[in-house]
Amino acid sequence: MDEVRIIEIKKSIFEDNDRDADNLRKELKERGVFLLNLMSSPGSGKTTTLISAISLLKGKLGIAVMEADIDSDVDARKIKEETGIETIQLHTGGMCHLDAEMTRQGLENLTLQETDLAILENVGNLVCPAEFDTGSCCNVMILSVPEGHDKPLKYPLMFSICDVVLVNKIDVAPYFDFNYEECVRNIHLRNPKAKVMPICAKTGEGVQAFTDWLLTEVKNWKNKN
């Protein structure tokens, strides 16, 4: 195979969000609210996955959802309609991600009195959300089958910061050139500790493995000083 030339283009990125995120994490710990940050490309199935997961978690945990989008409120309406839980829509004013301060603005608009688990559905984007700690207790991402098993190679940071990668739309795998084993290998290249779980959010297949994991995480976190 021919060699191709690689040109490194650099641009600096500013930071001072990490302290804000740590402070938010401490405050949430005091209030007993576990914050989950859910990320993916546009159209990977974040909302459908949440609806499926919430139906399994309802009654076991108090849950509230923040839907972040640049525009529209279709997702928040869908979640509220299908699950009945407290849901708000965050509009980011064009911003491509949420940082800790923006997440805090969202949390301030939730009741949180009986909430054990607050879920942030981040802006659909595999790049920028990975660069900003939201103050979450865990990061979960969805990679959907149609996107391809090579994505961990192209978007390394996102895969390296996630505790769990849900491989969604596993039902349509036969119609795509998608190799699950290679996908898992690529994810573990970036993040050997990442838990990888195949799911079909539409049918609910595999979602319980994820909610079981999440229940244990929340429980362990609550018991930790």
- The nearest distance, CB 99 to its own copies, in angstroms, is 9
Residue closer to its own copies by CB (options 147, 163) is: 147
**Cα–Cα distance, 136 to 64 (Å, whole number):** 14
**Cα–Cα distance, 176 to 147 (Å, whole number):** 9
Residue closer to its own copies by CB (options 121, 218) is: 121
Binding residues (CB under 8 A) for its own copies: these are 1-2, 4-11, 13, 41-43, 69-77, 80-81, 87-96, 98, 102, 105-106, 109, 123-128, 131, 144, 146-148, 150-151, 153-157, 169, 172, 175-176
Query: C-alpha angle with apex 37: 31 to 43, nearest 5 degrees?
Result: 150
Q: Are 208 and 168 in contact (CB under 8 A)?
A: no
Read off the tokens for 172.
């349509």
User: Residues 6 or more apart from 132 whose CB is under 8 A from it?
Assistant: 17, 21, 97, 98, 99, 100
Residue closer to its own copies by CB (options 81, 114) is: 81
Residue closer to its own copies by CB (options 33, 218) is: 33
Strands 86-91 and 63-69: parallel
- The nearest distance, CB 200 to its own copies, in angstroms, is 12
